[in-house]
Chain A
């Protein structure tokens, strides 16, 4: 339905995208996976006809898109930004914005807004001022505002990044449901597990180039060398694996051995999601196979969630909610235990 041919984009002398050739098929759910700064957002903005390529061209249903007819494409394609941008007024006003532009009748707007809000679980907050929402609610409001338009193509930029768990689950469910309804979805993320769970096709973007693409199974279990290059991201480790009694013991350096529910021996690349790690002040006795002691050396604040870097010999990133963070009273330099299950260890 939309196709990019030889697309390059240069911003202030920097080449954000290089020679992208891409065809988005009707009804598919495509994930663009890549580290921060790899050009994901730029690619989505071009697919959404918000930016024009410096070189190459965009084809929408076979018609070339330019400044003159971009508005037509934008009427059937919507991008949800990574950072929720809300308009003044209530949640309801925000969700109704695109429908008002399309001059729909009042009762029709009311009906569709209501349905969209209930889909994202915000029906009770319809009359709240938009600026008073929490981070996760803002993101859900942005999603509702986009999906209410019933566009053919929905573009989502890191829809669940830095969100509270409740919002994350809701947004994932909504994406699945929309996809079942036949909406074409292109989703940018740096979350491997999300890419694996949600998508039918993954496109690996690095340094503005598509370095690999394929079905999730092929990419994740095929020992893709490009996947391993994501070591720039968080919680990616390479090491030697020995399989004993069905559990892989992986030495990832720094005197750290991780237990993973894997059956592969020898050199492996693994990943543990920051939100799958439990942080505690005392050692937790549990069924989880991994228990590491380390000290906090950095705390990053992302509003409703907090990311903590912990040095246990190697550096782990842990993601927790603000409430947990405040209740635990964590500080830089403090010693903490990290706990995660062997099944949280993903093989790349």
Chain B
């Protein structure tokens, strides 16, 4: 077993070093799909998180609790539900999106929505309530004061987006069930790892795992550098 892992690691490094075209293709697809999903989800989740974090309305804590529960949503459960929705006989079957990269983007965007909403809401709640008053007394307009509050929580928002990207690129359930792991079309890092390991191709599986971990690590390093500068 140990020798298999070592052998896998060596093979993995060879594949990475030689810039294996399959590996590059799959990696780029993973980055594109999960990156798009993160951008898409941010578009609706950040405003929603701001609304929940700063808003004063009835049922706010219930609303927030719901998103906290959804944080732990198993990816296969979401995959199953979306499969039924997008399958030929499902309500959105006419779009014919099943087994395309687009549907993985949509699925992952839905999956990570609670991550962004919860993190953003929490980070805004944690901003000192006096910041708004401070901005106002220093001469800011109401709009400018709200922007100042958001700016104070920029770090937390960035963290939310990073965490959601990590969850998107590392998930398997949605990509496998909606994408179908079609070579050259919907095959991404996680589905390849699952497939290759099943086929006994440990080395390729490990190579993909190494790449996946490197991406997640690299993104986190870049973001933490960026957080220091903003």
Interface residues of A (CB under 8 A from B): 45, 48, 50, 71, 74-75, 77-79, 81, 83, 85, 87-88, 97-98, 101-102, 145-146, 149
Contact B134 A75 (CB under 8 A): no
- Could you say which of B13-21, B99-107, B136-144, B162-170 contacts chain A? B136-144
A75 touches B148 (CB 8 A): no
B139 engages A149 (CB within 8 Å): yes
Bound state CA distance, A102 and B141, in angstroms? Answer: 11
Which B residues touch A77, using CB under 8 A? 137
Is there contact, CB below 8 Å, between A85 and B144?
A: no
CA A97 to CA B138, docked complex, whole Å:
8
A71 contact set on B, CB distance < 8 A: 136, 139, 141-142
Instruction: Name the segment of B86-94, B125-133, B185-193 touching the other chain.
Output: B125-133
Of all chain B residues, the one with the shortest Cβ separation from A48 is: B137
A146 cross-chain contacts in B, Cβ below 8 A:
137-138
**Are the CB atoms of B128 and A50 closer together than 8 Å?**
no
Question: Closest Cβ of chain A: how far from B198's Cβ, in Å?
Answer: 49
15 additional contacts (CB under 8 A) given A75-B139, A88-B152, A101-B144? A50-B137, A71-B136, A74-B136, A74-B137, A74-B139, A78-B137, A85-B128, A85-B130, A85-B133, A87-B152, A97-B135, A101-B138, A145-B138, A146-B137, A149-B139
Instruction: Collect the chain B residues with CB atoms within 8 Å of residue A75's CB.
Output: 139
Q: Report chain B residues within 8 Å CB of A45.
A: 133
Q: How far is the CA of A275 from the CA of B154 in the complex (A)?
A: 41
Smallest CB–CB gap between A94 and chain B, Å?
10
Tell me the minimal C-beta distance from A11 to chain B in angstroms. 14
Which secondary structure dominates chain B's binding surface? helix
B140 and A101 form a contact (CB under 8 A): yes
| Residues of chain B lying within 8 A (CB to CB) of residue A98 | 138-139
Give every chain B residue within 8 A of A50 (Cβ-Cβ): 133, 136-137
| Bound-state Cα–Cα, A97 to B152, Å | 13
Is B151 at the interface (CB under 8 A from chain A)?
Answer: yes
Q: Are B133 and A83 in contact (CB under 8 A)?
A: no
A-B pairs with beta carbons under 8 Å apart, 22 shown: A50-B133, A50-B136, A50-B137, A71-B139, A74-B139, A77-B137, A78-B137, A78-B138, A79-B137, A81-B134, A85-B130, A85-B134, A87-B134, A87-B151, A87-B152, A88-B151, A97-B138, A101-B138, A101-B140, A102-B139, A145-B138, A146-B138
Give the complex CA separation of A83 and B129 in angstroms: 12
Q: Which positions in B face A, CB cutoff 8 Å?
A: 128, 130-131, 133-142, 144, 148, 151-152, 154-155
Contacts of B139 in A (CB 8 A): 71, 74-75, 78, 98, 101-102, 149
Chain A residues whose CB sits within 8 angstroms of the CB of B138 once the complex forms: 78, 97-98, 101, 145-146, 149
Tell me the complex Cα distance, A142–B134, Å.
Answer: 10
Please report the C-alpha to C-alpha distance between residue A149 and residue B148 in the assembled complex, in whole angstroms: 18
Please give, as numbers and ranges, the residues of chain A lying within 8 Å of B128 by CB-CB distance.
85
Interfacial chain B residues near A97, Cβ < 8 Å: 135, 138
Contact residues in B for A145 (Cβ distance below 8 Å):
138
Docked complex Cα distance between A88 and B144 (Å): 15
Instruction: Indicate if the CB atoms of B130 and A83 lie closer than 8 Å.
Output: yes
Cα separation A74 to B128 with both chains bound (whole Å) = 20
What's the nearest-Cβ distance from chain A to residue B127, in Å?
A: 10
Q: Report the 8 A-B pairs with minimum CB-CB distance, sorted nearest first.
A: A98-B138, A85-B130, A79-B137, A75-B139, A85-B134, A101-B139, A98-B139, A101-B140
Q: Which residues from chain B contact A102 at a C-beta distance below 8 Å? A: 139
Q: Report the Cα distance A146→B137, complex, angstroms.
A: 9
CB-CB under 8 A from A48, the residues of chain B are 137
The residues of B that contact A149 with a CB separation of less than 8 Å are 138-139
Q: How far is B133's CA from A96's CA once the two chains are assembled, in angstroms?
A: 17
- Per the bound structure, the CA–CA distance linking A74 and B137 in Å amounts to 6
Q: Which residue of chain B lies nearest to A75 when distances are taken between CB atoms in the complex?
A: B139
Which single residue of chain A is at the shortest CB-CB distance from B152?
A88
Cβ–Cβ < 8 Å partners of B133 in chain A: 45, 50, 81, 85
Q: Which residue of chain B has the shortest Cβ distance to A70 in the bound complex?
A: B136
Report A150 CB to chain B, min CB distance, Å.
12
The complex places the Cα of A115 from the Cα of B228 at a distance, in Å, of 28
B138's nearest neighbour on chain A, judged by CB, is A98
Q: Give, as a whole number of angstroms, the nearest-CB distance from B147 to chain A.
A: 11
Complex interface: chain A residues within 8 A of B144 (CB): 101
B121 to chain A, nearest CB (A): 19
A87 touches B148 (CB 8 A): yes
Asked whether B137 lies within 8 Å of A87 as measured between CB atoms, the reply is: no
Question: In angstroms, how far is the closest chain B Cβ from the Cβ of A106?
Answer: 18
Closest beta carbon of chain A to B183's beta carbon, Å: 47
B134 to chain A: which residues have CB within 8 Å? 81, 85, 87
Cα A97 to Cα B137 with chains together (Å): 11
Give min CB distance, B124 to chain A, whole Å.
14
Q: How many angstroms from the CA of A48 to the CA of B134 in the assembled complex?
A: 11
Please, which residue of chain B has its CB at the minimum distance from the CB of A72?
B139
Residue numbers in B under 8 Å from A74 (CB-CB): 136-137, 139
Interface centre among A78, A83, A88 (most CB of B within 10 A): A88
- Residue of chain B at shortest CB distance from A76: B139
Q: How far is the CA of A97 from the CA of B154 in the complex (A)?
A: 17
With both chains docked as a complex, state the minimum distance between the C-beta of A119 and any C-beta of chain B, in angstroms. Answer: 17
- B139 CB → nearest A CB, Å: 5
